[in-house]
Amino acid sequence: MAAPSPSPHKPRRKAKRGGNGASVLNAHDQGIHSRTPSFPLAGFLWPARGVASEWELLPLILMAAGLFRWAAGLWGYSGFEKPPMFGDYEAQRHWMEITTQLPISQWYFHDLQWWGLDYPPLTAYHSWLCGKIGALINPTWFALYASRGSNDPILKIFMRATVLVSEYLIYVPAVVVFVRRFSRLSGVATWTSSVALVAILMQPATILIDHVHFQYNTVMLGFVTASMSSMLAGRYLWAAVFFVAALGFKQMALYYAFSVFAYLLGNCLFPRVNVSRLLGIAAVTAVSFALLVAPIVIGTLYDAARGIDSRPELDGPPPPLPIFQGITKYLDTDAIYYPIVEQLVQMVHRIFPFARGLFEDKVANFWCALNVAIKLKKYPSELLQRGALLATVASIIPPNLILFFRPRKLLLPLAFATTAWGFFLFSYQVHEKSVLLPLMPMTLLLAGNQGLTKNMRAWVGFANLLGCWTMFPLLQRVDLRVPYAVLTLLWAFLLGLPPTSLSAYFEEGSSLWSQWTTFFVHGFFYLAMGLWHVFEATLTPPPDKPDLWVVANVGVGAAGFSLCYLWCLWRLVVESEILPQKWVGKGTKPKTQ
């Protein structure tokens, strides 16, 4: 590929051609002024615009991103000094405790009323590794029962470090490689892709949830990004392996499963049938799943041979598990295979909590918004499950049909984002933190063709800021208002977004009607978010409506996320070129691969 100009932000009359046939975007296409940067993040990196290689700038980017993460972690965390359950921080610490202190066959059965393990096996293995390392420092951190609710400040440092190290081992390398490949395929110059990389790594939602509230979502997101990056490189077997790892870490990765399936199958059938590729992907996927559960299966057999009960009476009689009442009619409970069946059934039962109902807490999705007008809990659970299934399938079929018939590399982030938005809006048992899943691929669009243009920054920024705003009630409950305000306003400032700036709107060469429409629509939501914060902080809701502000948050958020879904779907339709050019307007024909 031809080397880019040392300053890719000087306007060119003719775009350079890369080795992949994509044109290198000029300054105007990326929304950066020819003499001065048009948004602060570009200004901060402006002195480095002459670097010839992204590897010269990469160490500085990674150090800055890591510093912000560690600084954010100095705040409190979910459940800090808040008995009786002590929040998500305690859940993650407790899983390190049970995986290091109990036989493997008891992991998914132990004391389910106190943060019982309800994530797939790779999370359990990760907890085991972190617990083993932590026990070398201080064994009392993970002493069974005795360590519950511990707020040891040194333990906090260790736990924060496990999040940061895990992210820098999985998520950060995956994002760096994806941005590099996606930018090259899109014809984006080195410096421009570096600006996009900083914006992606500084995404406020992931920092707030993982490094402040406390979780390990970026490990799962990193495996998904690595899977997408492998698809960009044409390494479909590795794509399958990485996606199985994502599913093995958090079941929420199912949000992307249809897009992974559609793209891989499409590449096996178009432009011609490739049976060997199809069989290879299927075999690697099966082997990956087998390796994922192998330690659980082998450990269960080993424990059974030693006479270890997977459900011992550690705290009195174990709670009844109705799910086993059906299978014991057909299986011999004394057979050698029964402990394996019991273990796998219990694992599935814990991972997919259908018994918890359509939703537990108020989340900015379709069902919670609808529940304001129609009390859904009065309907049978089976009916709500079917309704959620039908609505989810209806929302994800269009983007995945497009990806199946047009399995193009540059469509991957849009297809993943649209599908994840459909799952978030309509699926069963959605949590506030699940908004990270559609936000991740949508934010990766910043690294692509026109990624730093004003229109793209406006929509990607809108989705991210709205996503953080909908998580404010969750963060507020654990006194995390300050990091929420700092990180969201900082990101808005860096990208020239409201409420700090309006520079992401109105650019030459775009439809004036479209720009004004976007401005007014986004402006309405930004105004609503701002007024909501004022009202929530100053006005006490009436006694008969104690959840008034949370319900308002749900309604506004669900409406805004629906717009994000429709925008991603429309962009996917346009860039897939399935519609005649005259239907989508002039100047919108994409460069896809």
- State how far the Cα of 345 lies from the Cα of 109, in Å rounded to an integer: 11
Give the residue carrying structure tokens 């049970």. 98
Higher pLDDT, 358 or 213: 213
- State how far the Cα of 172 lies from the Cα of 227, in Å rounded to an integer: 14
Residue 593, pLDDT score: 59
Q: Do 39 and 504 contact (CB within 8 A), yes or no?
A: yes
Residues in Cβ contact with 260 at an 8 Å cutoff, skipping those fewer than 6 apart: 227, 239, 240, 243
pLDDT in tens, 487-508: 999 999 999 999 999 989 987 7
CB atoms within 10 A of CB 194: 25
Residue 331, pLDDT score: 73
Q: What is the DSSP string of 87-122?
A: HHHHHHHHHHHHHHHS-GGGTTTTTTTTT---S-HH
SS3 category, 417? helix
CB atoms within 10 A of CB 508: 6
- The alpha carbon of 145 is separated from its chain's Cα centroid by a whole number of angstroms, namely 32
Task: State the pLDDT confidence band at 16, using cuts at 50, 70 and 90.
Answer: very low
Task: State the pLDDT confidence band at 335, using cuts at 50, 70 and 90.
Answer: confident
For the residues 331-352, what does the mean pLDDT come to? 85
Give the residue carrying structure tokens 């992991």. 107
Q: What percentage of the chain carries pLDDT values higher than 90?
A: 69
Residue 433 is classified by DSSP as G
Cis ω before 312 (30° cut-off from 0): no
- State how far the Cα of 268 lies from the Cα of 264, in Å rounded to an integer: 6
> Which residue type occupies 88?
D
Q: Do 238 and 246 contact (CB within 8 A), yes or no?
A: no
Q: What is the pTM of this model?
A: 0.91
pLDDT score of 316 more than 50? no
Which bin fits 571, alpha (ψ -120 to 50), beta or left (φ > 0)?
alpha
Give the residue carrying structure tokens 């409406």. 559
- The alpha carbon of 468 is separated from its chain's Cα centroid by a whole number of angstroms, namely 13
User: Which of 219, 171, 179 is CA-nearest to residue 197?
Assistant: 179
Residue 314, pLDDT score: 46
CB atoms within 10 A of CB 548: 15
CB burial of residue 65 (10 Å; 0-12, 13-18, 19+): buried
Return phi, psi of residue 445, to 5°: -60, -20
pLDDT in tens, 98-141: 999 999 999 999 888 889 999 999 999 999 999 999 999 999 99
Three-state SS letters, 30-79 = CCCCCCCCCCHHHHHCHHHCCCCCHHHHHHHHHHHHHHHHHHHCCCCCCC
Cis ω before 499 (30° cut-off from 0): yes
Q: What percentage of the chain carries pLDDT values higher than 70?
A: 88
Q: How many helices (H) and strands (E) does the chain have?
A: 24, 0
pLDDT score of 22 more than 60? no
- State how far the Cα of 314 lies from the Cα of 276, in Å rounded to an integer: 51
Task: State the pLDDT confidence band at 532, using cuts at 50, 70 and 90.
Answer: very high
- State how far the Cα of 285 lies from the Cα of 277, in Å rounded to an integer: 12
- State how far the Cα of 502 lies from the Cα of 493, in Å rounded to an integer: 10
